[in-house]
Structure 1
Amino acid sequence: MDINQRIDAMRNEIIDSTAELVKIRSLEGEAKPGMPFGEDVDKALQCALKMSEKLGFKTVNVDGYAGYAEIGEGEEYVASLGHLDLVPEGDGWMYPPYAAEIHDGKMYGRGTSDDKGPVVACLYALKAIKDSNLPMSKRIRVIFGTNEETGGEDIPYYLKKEKAPVLAFTPDADFPIINGEKGITIFDLVKNFVPCDKDGKVIIESIVGGNAANMVPDYCEAILTCANAEEVKNTVEEFAKDKKYEITVNIEGNKAIIKSIGVSGHGSTPEQGKNAIMQLITCLATLDLRNDEVSDYVKFFDEKVGMEVDGKSFGVYLEDEPSGTLSFNLGKINLNRKSGSTTLNLRYPVTKTLDDMMTPLCTTLGTTGIMMENFSHQEPLYFETDHPLIQKLAKAYSEQMDEEAKFVSIGGGTYAKEMPNTVAFGPTFIGQPSTVHQPNEYIDIEELIRISKIYAYALYELAK
């Protein structure tokens, strides 16, 4: 019996084990002894470890931060890395989010595809390899992460206790193979304004918009004090009509409340959204603003960002063949007459360096008095297509799917960035919708079985 036949024979067990894990609402909670991320996350970890023991694997609990199931002998090991923690279920579900109900060949529930279903697929892939008595030169480990969604403390702790795999994949993204992930930066551009008592036709009182750095903002609102509010209203409405932006103005005495509606999107693909903050800023820049530091701050972003999503006017444009152009997202703004703070999420190409981006960025800020605060950074991840890890995963995918594996670089960051020698590999197939973090998250049952087969051959390719 070959690996695929063994997977097919375990079909019902794979479905039942996935349902067992999905029924656990493993959201981060209050830390307790041996349970750094709370009782519910620990319940999922214990479930996965007991499941692994029943399948005949060696199991280890890494102090509640992670766990793993393992087969084989040898100094080195290869691995799959998935996580058992969840984002909250939210509203709008057709079926209960923790019941693992199956409808029309799909199992519904939070975690079915991110990452509990894929973790179970990897466990039964490991079982198929074990039962086939295939020769291996390395151990194979299925690693259970527990803090991917909220804090990312799980894998750094794991790496303090365990050495890293020599080759690994995470079933936490898309097929075929994500061999590149852009470098990710998030930071605030902040300025305190010198008080100004001069009169002006239009005085900016406040601008507030956006929810997160890594989201294209879909709403922004400004309050202005106007010498002629009706004139401002007409100017804004003409601008909105000309640009085909959804911007409205309400007049309350000498105040104009301007509301900008955009289209939300992910910060890794800002071109797919419509930035409500930048719509509003480009609109305000056309008004006869008071000559003060508040207006200068707004005009700076109009001039250096506008509606661009690649950083050209800001001077930070970068591009390479594997991953394309830099992604520039202005995600939040909070401005009043005392200070302004704007949050940027810049993602630079995989073959470039942080200095390639930051040197021209600092030049652009120059003598504006705008300061950078709350800076965070993730290095890019990139494997050449001839790297052994990429070639072995490509072989497993191509043989199982009967099609050539393609290599993809993305702007988002996956679990692969947390573990050395790791790339993202599935579980979502090309052309299939992703329901990750959305209401009605599901995994197609046939695809659950198919990914179990792909992961079995992939793990064996890495270990043989």
Structure 2
Amino acid sequence: MTQIDFKAEVAARKDDLLADLFSLLKINSERDDSQVTPETPFGPGPVAALQQFLSLAERDGYATKNVDNYAGHFTYGDDLPEDAEVLGIFAHMDVVPAGTGWASNPYEPEIRDGKIYARGASDDKGPTMACYYGLKILKELNVPLTKKIRFIAGTDEESGWGDMDYYFAHVGLPEPDFGFSPDAEFPIINGEKGNITEYLHITGDNSGAVHLHSFTGGLRENMVPESATAVISGDLADLNTKLEAFVSAHADKNLRFETETAANGQVTVVLHGRSAHGAMPEKGVNGATYLAKFLNEIGVVSPFTQIAGTILIEDHAGDKTGVAFEDPKMGALSMNAGVFNFDDASSDNTIALNFRYPQGTDSEAISKVLVALEGVDTVSKSTHEHTPHYVPMADELVSTLLDVYEKQTGLKGHEQIIGGGTFGRLLKRGVAFGAMFPGDIDTMHQANEFIPVDVLLRAAAIYAEAIYELAK
């Protein structure tokens, strides 16, 4: 076969790639449980994004299948023998909530200083379209392949992966033989820690000079809460002065607050930190744990705020909580206190802790430690759990992808094991591959999420050659 200049082929399609990507980024595909119907299993936004993605594939001549709006796919190489191996590519159309703090509308994509700003730009619509165009190049050049390709897009990756559970149960096809997900970073992610959310159920006294009526914080379990809100009453003398002193005492966290007094004398306090991906909680500032710490200091006496503001605050590795664990190969456990709910009229108040755990421990061992915490009544677990996943370096899938990465970048490839969970782990021989490069700024799950245009194009060229090498 004549040598293909993949970078030149991508450059020739730059405008089309950006236009197609923008058509996806303009869709608010956050999960919305308030609008769930049989036709919109995770709300209308994820469905709209999935349908738009499949419409692009239909436009380009692929055979598509929408599996009841949970997930869908398109296929390439349908003329190959029935027993040909299948390369799976897994992406997702859903996004985490945009939250606050954006310099522009998160669903009106903009290019500023060479970067595409929008929710989903880097997680995962941008990488998805880079990979889509990688395959599109091979199709348009009519490059002969010996393996079939199934490009699968889900709609619930950021929550419970109910999309993939439903897809595999109803698609009527066997799993692909091997594959990758363009939803992480280069050079490769061939290992992923286990992922489980455990819920602390807390009751107990709510006394003290300041009474806590309610406390909420966090949008998703896999996001560091950007802010939290508490409604309080009682001895609130000099409240704003105390808040200013608290913010000043933690100046390195760049906290900010606002208050509002209701007619009944109750005061609503909102404290803002900084969001981040739940797999890397140390990169954010948890507004909920800092608000709980403040409430403890001004007179709230509650097991809820005591746990949140004393034990969980800055406890990213689970040291104070008592669940810390480290494996020589997969690294240390991480913990994100993601969603907080307290109501003084409720006997069941909860804090959701999202764990990324290595081999050597498990969710049951974590539960046994958590339930022994003072103030915790019971601990429950999310219905969906991912156990640790690893594909050896010797596997041809891993070695091939690293070879392509090294050829295109001139950089040495190496294995990586992360706390984040990707669709790469759906297959026994599955990995995550790109699209973020070493040294890139990671803005996933944060305000002002972006992907540089040049990164998008570089990734597309790598994906084109990678798909060719895996399926030739």
Question: Which bin holds the TM-score, normalised by the shorter protein?
Answer: 0.7 to 0.9
Give the equivalent residue in structure 2 for 1:211: 218
Give the Cα–Cα distance (whole angstroms) in 2 for the partners of residues 318 and 270 of structure 1. 16
Give the Cα–Cα distance (whole angstroms) in 1 for the partners of residues 420 and 225 of structure 2. 14
**Partner amino acid for 1:450?**
R
- Taking structure 1 as the reference length, the TM-score comes to 0.76
Are residues 75 and 296 of structure 1, via their aligned partners in 2, closer, same or farther at CA, if it must alter by over 3 Å? Answer: same
Are residues 224 and 237 of structure 1, via their aligned partners in 2, closer, same or farther at CA, if it must alter by over 3 Å? Answer: farther
Query: In structure 1, which of residues 312, 321, 329 is the aligned counterpart of residue 319 of structure 2?
Result: 312
Give the equivalent residue in structure 2 for 1:271: 282
Query: In structure 2, which of residues 187, 190, 203 is the aligned counterpart of residue 179 of structure 1?
Result: 190
Pairs within 5 Å for 1:223-262:
223-226=232-235, 259=269, 261-262=271-272
**CA deviation map 1:31-71 (0-9, x unaligned):** 68799975733541442322441xxx555554553021212
Q: Please list every run of 5 or more consecutive structure 2 residues that lacks an aligned counterpart in the other structure.
A: 30-34
Alpha-carbon offset, residue 77 of structure 1: 1.0
Pairs within 5 Å for 1:111-130:
113-129=122-138
Structure with bigger gyration radius? 1
SS in 1 for 2:215: strand
Give the Cα–Cα distance (whole angstroms) in 2 for the partners of residues 183 and 225 of structure 1. 44
Give the Cα–Cα distance (whole angstroms) in 2 for the partners of residues 308 and 49 of structure 1. 45
Give the Cα–Cα distance (whole angstroms) in 2 for the partners of residues 258 and 62 of structure 1. 45
Query: In structure 2, which of residues 148, 153, 174 is the aligned counterpart of residue 163 of structure 1?
Result: 174
Alpha-carbon offset, residue 318 of structure 1: 1.3
Give the Cα–Cα distance (whole angstroms) in 2 for the partners of residues 96 and 371 of structure 1. 38
Do residues 392 (structure 1) and 400 (structure 2) align? yes
CA contact (8 A) 1:31 1:37 kept: yes
Do residues 350 (structure 1) and 361 (structure 2) align? no
Are residues 418 and 288 of structure 1, via their aligned partners in 2, closer, same or farther at CA, if it must alter by over 3 Å? Answer: same
Give the Cα–Cα distance (whole angstroms) in 1 for the partners of residues 247 and 116 of structure 2. 45
Aligned-residue Cα RMSD (Å) equals: 4.5
Alpha-carbon offset, residue 428 of structure 1: 1.9
Give the Cα–Cα distance (whole angstroms) in 2 for the partners of residues 126 and 431 of structure 1. 26
Pairs within 5 Å for 1:262-341:
262-266=272-276, 267-285=278-296, 295-301=302-308, 304-331=311-338, 332-336=340-344, 339=347, 341=349
SS in 2 for 1:23: helix
Give the Cα–Cα distance (whole angstroms) in 2 for the partners of residues 402 and 112 of structure 1. 26
Kindly tell me the number of residue pairs found equivalent between the two proteins. 447
Alpha-carbon offset, residue 13 of structure 1: 3.4
**Partner amino acid for 2:8?**
D
**Partner amino acid for 1:342?**
T
SS in 2 for 1:162: coil
Query: In structure 1, which of residues 396, 402, 408 is the aligned counterpart of residue 410 of structure 2?
Result: 402
Are residues 243 and 340 of structure 1, via their aligned partners in 2, closer, same or farther at CA, if it must alter by over 3 Å? Answer: farther
**CA deviation map 1:301-331 (0-9, x unaligned):** 5564354222222221112234433223333
Give the Cα–Cα distance (whole angstroms) in 1 for the partners of residues 441 and 158 of structure 2. 21
Do residues 154 (structure 1) and 163 (structure 2) align? yes
**CA deviation map 1:320-376 (0-9, x unaligned):** 2344332233332414265462313231323232233223223336xx561234634
Give the Cα–Cα distance (whole angstroms) in 1 for the partners of residues 455 and 343 of structure 2. 48
SS in 2 for 1:48: helix
CA contact (8 A) 1:262 1:273 kept: no
Do residues 431 (structure 1) and 442 (structure 2) align? no
Are residues 14 and 430 of structure 1, via their aligned partners in 2, closer, same or farther at CA, if it must alter by over 3 Å? Answer: same
CA contact (8 A) 1:155 1:419 kept: no
Do residues 370 (structure 1) and 377 (structure 2) align? yes
Are residues 15 and 69 of structure 1, via their aligned partners in 2, closer, same or farther at CA, if it must alter by over 3 Å? Answer: farther
Are residues 339 and 396 of structure 1, via their aligned partners in 2, closer, same or farther at CA, if it must alter by over 3 Å? Answer: same
Alpha-carbon offset, residue 381 of structure 1: 4.0
Give the Cα–Cα distance (whole angstroms) in 2 for the partners of residues 336 and 275 of structure 1. 22
Indicate the percent of aligned positions where both proteins have the same amino acid: 27
Do residues 145 (structure 1) and 137 (structure 2) align? no
Alpha-carbon offset, residue 208 of structure 1: 1.4
Pairs within 5 Å for 1:72-83:
72-73=80-81, 74-83=83-92
Are residues 190 and 154 of structure 1, via their aligned partners in 2, closer, same or farther at CA, if it must alter by over 3 Å? Answer: closer
